[in-house]
Amino acid sequence: MTLWLALALMTAAAIFAVLWPLGRRTAAAGGSDIAVYRDQLDEIARDRTSGLIGEAEAEAAKVEVSRRLIGAADVADADKSASGRSPLWRRRATAIAGLVLLPVGTTALYLAIGSPQLPGQPLAARMAAVQQDRSLQTLIGQVEAHLERNPNDARGYEVIAPVYLRLGRFSDAVNARRKLLALSGETAERQADLGEALAAAGNGVITVEAKAAFERALVLDPADLKAKFFIGVAAEQDGDKPKAAAIWTGMLKDAPPDAPWAPVVRESLVRVGVTPPSPTAPPIAGMAAPSASDVAAASGMSEQDRGDMIRGMVARLADRLKEDGNDLEGWQRLLRAYMVLGDRDKATAAAGDAKKALAGNPDKLRQIGDTIKSMGL
Amino acid sequence: MIPELGHYALVLALALGIVQAVAPLIGALQRDTALMRLATSTAIMQFVFVALSFAALTACYVTSDFSVVNVIENSHSMMPLIYKFTSVWGNHEGSMLLWVLILAMFGASVAAFGGNLPTTLKANVLAVQSWIACTFYLFILLTSNPFLRVAQPPFEGRDLNPILQDIGLAVHPPLLYLGYVGFSISFSFAIAALIEGRIDAAWARWVRPWTLAAWMFLTVGIAMGSYWAYYELGWGGFWFWDPVENASLMPWIAGTALLHSAVVMEKRNALKVWTLLLAILAFSLSLIGTFLVRSGVLTSVHTFASDPSRGVFILMILIFFIGGGLALFAWRAPLLKQGGLFAPVSREGALVFNNLFLTTACLTVFVGTLYPLALEAVTGEKISVGAPFFNLTFGPLFIPLMFVMPFGPLLAWKRGDVLGVAQRLMAAFAIGLIAIAASFAAMGMSSVLAPFGIGLAFYVMAGSLVDLVERTGLFRMPMATVRARAAGLPRSVWGTALAHFGMAVTLLGIVCATTWGEERIVALKQGQSVTLSGYDLRFDGMVQRTGPNFRELAATFTAGSGGVAIGAMEPSKRSFVARNSSTSEAALLTRGFSQLYLSLGDVNEDGSVAIRVYFKPLVLLIWLGSLVMALGGALSLSDRRLRVGAPKPAKKSAAKPSTLQPAE
């Protein structure tokens, strides 16, 4: 309502600017070139008295300016006889144009291009509103904004890193973990957390980088459970099942009977074909694994479930690439995953999508082309 | 609500503009005083509304209202406050709004302070001004609307282009626009004169203050822009013959020519048609400047918007105003009464000489800037016209111009005496020769041409003071008389002398900085140092810092001369998170008028850092000279007295009054 009132007042001011001069009776008081030439004559006199020009030059100049003055006076006379008429009908027509056409025209144009229904949203006011409605997303936003301002605040990274991991923002999680390491120094736990994030970012594969982080954690604290477990996973992925089994069995041996992570390790042992030592306490259903990572979860599942899990991960990757197609490695991973799952049709389709998405970047386009060719698609 | 108020205010300005574009024209034709009066009130009200609109957009930026698309795209809630203001015009839409704000401001100034103008002329001028304004309002509202909204505002904007986050940008575009747009008044006056079919000496006087003001702002604007490029782009150069720079230089040259030819018209009622043409050209070149920058036809560091559909719109505006203005000129100019004739050797002659060279220089810049574009558009062939072309064409044109410059103010109107003037310039010649000899002695034969450039600069500096010295009687008369005479001199005489002096100062800076500057590119490890032109720079280490919306890697250096530390230098690289881009901030150390310039390159793996060091002797004179020029313009603008065509002969010709008959 205030908006419309303000717009109406502005329109009234504009109309007034048109009507006001039409209503005044006084004749126009314009200047004329006669004044300029009079000034020029005065100037000559001043210059003469101050000695800037000689007598003869002053005379000559005076003659010249006078001639202009006479010419201007003639024109002014002719003007005067012709000017001053302002017939009523013309003023009325102008007034009507100002009163009707101007508001109608402006309103029509404004309604066509303006957005009167949208209120202004200054950031400060919005922030105040957000304080009352804390959703996860805005909380993350606030922590991020805080970190933007104070990029050296380790606590912020500590808070946000697990959230990122849970939301599947793996690369952000990796960055946050790295930052934390740089800021608060190295501990076994932090290295292991970094390794976990790296593994998650690699879709469960313990990459060289991730493995290095776990190994570093074990150097710092040979008893670090998370690092131990993942080193085992790495061994399994390398095909070294006996080594994996040895690590995991060792873990269970030293474990307190009610360790919350024991069931997961036991499942892993089953997967590599080793019978785990019998539990002293039954596993509690739904108990959290030592890590929330997909790897750990997948390692505790049956073959069927694991297949579903992997397909879910692949689908998630495909979704992400649909949104942000500029990730060359992501595309390569997706293509390989489809081939491994034996889904050739989807792989072919994804190859086409990848080419389209990377079309803007010749270098990446060439690389994805190589990958596609190497797969025989 | 605020963005919508601003939006509507702009629509209202357009509506008032349409009234102002039509009614006063009819009024002037029919001599209807009521309709003519309409121009004054609508012009002032139009300005009020555009100002309101601009204020609304500024408010959106300052409060980070991310429901406005333009704010999302060019702002960030954590930018320092000053950049929230400057980012209003640091983008295409906002800068166009600034453009029309200044246009409306000039229109309102004519309405408010143009009481001395004949009513018909004032009505026509304001009507033409409003034609220009209306097309640009339409352009903004239809193709570049800064008030477009989104219903779901994001939480953060995309930040202002980091290269524009600098105090230089805060001041330089508004000044440049004041210059560009100021010429619109000269244009409107010219078109109004053509419509009325009448033009005389008084016209030149009325148009002069506006031209002078525009010229001043443009001078300072170009200088600021050049200084900004010098320290922000990190290349150490001050002028790149970049198309966008050329686009600002062309109206400046045309405007300079216009200022000089208007003097002839005012005093001698001659060169009328030519002056009209220059007035049309100066603004046409300003429009081309706007066009080159914004259409996306050109891409360079300065271009912050590229969108071909806008380009087409602007092209239409260009064709309408430039083509229309020139067509009107071709049709109406022959009907104008011709002015007086004059002898080639005279003040008028000197000014014509000035005009010839300036327009030729302007033409070379025009060709050098637009030919590659035209060629690419027609044949697809890409050529680049760079500094060598301009140095070979523009340079030689300016040498004779500079040489004759001191002669102009000393020559008499109507008929001058070259030999007499040359005699009075003897002292200046001598100073020039001494400067040449001294620079050869000091710098050896390292550059053969540069000492002559320095000689020319000193000769012009001295020569532009000769007139003052003679007219105040300095060295000849007692101090009291000199003071009285100095006070009695018209301000415009001081203005002329200062402007010419400033030009020479700039020339001196350019010659020295380009000829005897030194450059080194080295990689330094901590503790190592580099020596350049007698200065030592020691690399002390790197620091990582955090700014409001960027992170900064700064290297600290200690500059020393002869073993004595003279200051710290801290070049840095800033990375802006929101735009994922970085800028390099050069460090400058001023020694007198010279500067040490240090810009940071990459950090190598072994911990060494690549740096570029320049020593730029007398480089500050380039911009100082421009400021002196603008100061001359300001002095001249403050001259309320009228300059009359009174013959001011050389002493010798004063004895021959027979030569002073009016020439017409």
| Domain locations in chain B as residue ranges | 1-165, 179-404, 405-516+620-660, 518-616
Mean pLDDT in chain B?
84
Round to whole Å and give the CA distance between A162 and A331.
26
Q: CATH number for the domain including A311?
A: 1.25.40
Confidence at B648, pLDDT banded by 50, 70, 90: very low
Residue A142 lies in a domain: no
Residue B471: alpha-carbon gap to chain centroid: 31
Asked if B268 and B342 touch (Cβ cutoff 8 Å), the reply is yes
**CB-CB neighbors (< 8 A) of A110 in chain B:** 7-8, 11
* Residue to substitute from A15, A100, A109, interface B, most B β-carbons within 10 A: A109
**Structure confidence by residue, pLDDT tens digits, B285-296:** 998 877 765 555
Q: When comparing pLDDT for B300 and B235, which is higher?
A: B235
Is A312 inside any structural domain? yes
- The phi, psi pair for A329, rounded to 5°, reads -65, -35
CA distance B399 to B432: 14
- Measured in angstroms, the CA of B65 and the nearest CA of chain A are apart by 4
Q: What is the pLDDT of residues A177-225, one digit of tens each?
A: 888 888 888 888 888 999 989 888 877 788 888 888 998 898 888 888 8
Angle at which helix B324-332 crosses helix B167-196, to 10 degrees, equals: 30
Tell how far CA B629 is from the center of its chain. 11
pLDDT at B663: 35
**Closest Cβ opposite residue B35 in set A35, A94, A126:** A94
CA distance B601 to B586: 10
Token couple for A66: 């006078």
Query: B664 versus A291: which is more confidently predicted?
Result: A291
- For B216-251, write each residue's pLDDT tens digit: 999 999 998 898 888 877 677 888 888 778 888 999
Structure tokens at A55: 């007598």
Mapped onto helix, strand or coil, the DSSP state of residue B257 is helix
Contact between B315 and B291 under an 8 Å Cβ cutoff? The reply is yes
pLDDT in tens, A109-154: 999 998 888 888 888 777 776 655 556 667 777 788 888 888 888 8
Within 8 A by CB and 6+ apart from B40, the residues are: A21, B111, B112, B122, B126
CA–CA distances in Å: residue A285 to residues A270, A289, B139, B177, B252: 18, 11, 68, 73, 82
Chain B: give the shortest CA distance to residue A323, in Å: 18
Report residue B584: phi and psi, to 5°: -110, 135
The one-letter code for the residue type at B126 is L
Q: How far apart are the C-alpha atoms of A155 and B369, rounded to whole Å?
A: 56
Query: Could you tell me if residue A347 is inside a domain?
Result: yes
Is A61 a domain residue?
no
A-B CB pairs within 8 A amount to 234
Q: Is residue A75 part of a domain?
A: no
Query: Is pLDDT above 60 for A347?
Result: yes
Q: Enter the tokens of residue B348.
A: 């008028």
CB B405 within 8 A of CB B502: no
Residue A205 and residue A196: Cα distance in Å, rounded?
10
Domain count, chain A: 1
- Which residue of A2, A61, A115 is in closest CB contact with B647? A61
The 8-class DSSP code of residue B322 comes to I
Instruction: Report how far residue A349's alpha carbon sits from residue B458's, in angstroms, rounded to the nearest whole number.
Output: 75
Cβ contact A71–B200 (<8 Å): yes
Work out the pLDDT band at A285, boundaries 50, 70, 90. Answer: very low
pLDDT of residue A26 exceeding 70, the answer is: no
Q: Which of A214, A30, A93, A353 is nearest to B19 (CA)?
A: A93
Q: How far apart are CA B611 and CA A47, in angstroms?
A: 61
Q: Are B235 and B616 in contact (CB under 8 A)?
A: no
For residues B167 and B81, the model is more confident at: B81
**Alpha helices, DSSP H, located in B380-425:** 387-404, 407-410, 418-424
DSSP state of B162: G
A265: its two tokens: 């390790």
User: Is the residue at A269 inside a domain?
Assistant: no
| B1, B155, B202: residue with CB nearest A36 | B202
Chain A interface includes B189 (CB < 8 A): no
Contact indicator for A302, A208 with CB cutoff of 8 Å: no
Q: Assess if residue A90 is contained within a domain.
A: no
Q: Are A94 and B641 a contacting pair at CB < 8 A? A: no
Backbone angles phi, psi at B573, to 5 degrees: -120, 130
Nearest Cα residue in chain B from A100: B15
When pLDDT is averaged across residues B22-48 and rounded to a whole number, the result is: 90
Give the integer Cα–Cα distance in Å for A166 and B633: 67
Which pLDDT tens digit goes with each residue over B422-479? 988 999 999 999 999 998 888 877 788 889 999 999 999 999 998 888 888 788 888 8
Cβ-in-10-Å burial (0-12, 13-18, 19+) of B308 comes to exposed
CA angle B98, B104, B105 (to 5 degrees): 85
The side-by-side arrangement of strands in the sheet containing B587-591 is B518-524, B609-616, B594-603, B587-591
- Using CB atoms, which residue from A43, A87, A90 is nearest to B644? A43
Q: CB B145 to CB A113 under 8 A? A: yes
Report the candidate in B66, B157, B80 with the shortest Cα–Cα distance to residue A125. Answer: B66
- What chain A residue is nearest to B269 in terms of C-alpha separation? A68
d(CA A30, CA B628): 36
Candidate from B66, B147, B657 with C-beta closest to A56: B657
Q: Residue B324's pLDDT is what?
A: 93
Q: Which residues make Cβ contacts (< 8 Å) with residue B69, sequence separation at least 6?
A: B148, B149, B150
Contact status, residue B18 vs residue B133, Cβ threshold 8 Å: no
**What is the Cα–Cα distance from B27 to A2, expressed in whole angstroms?**
38
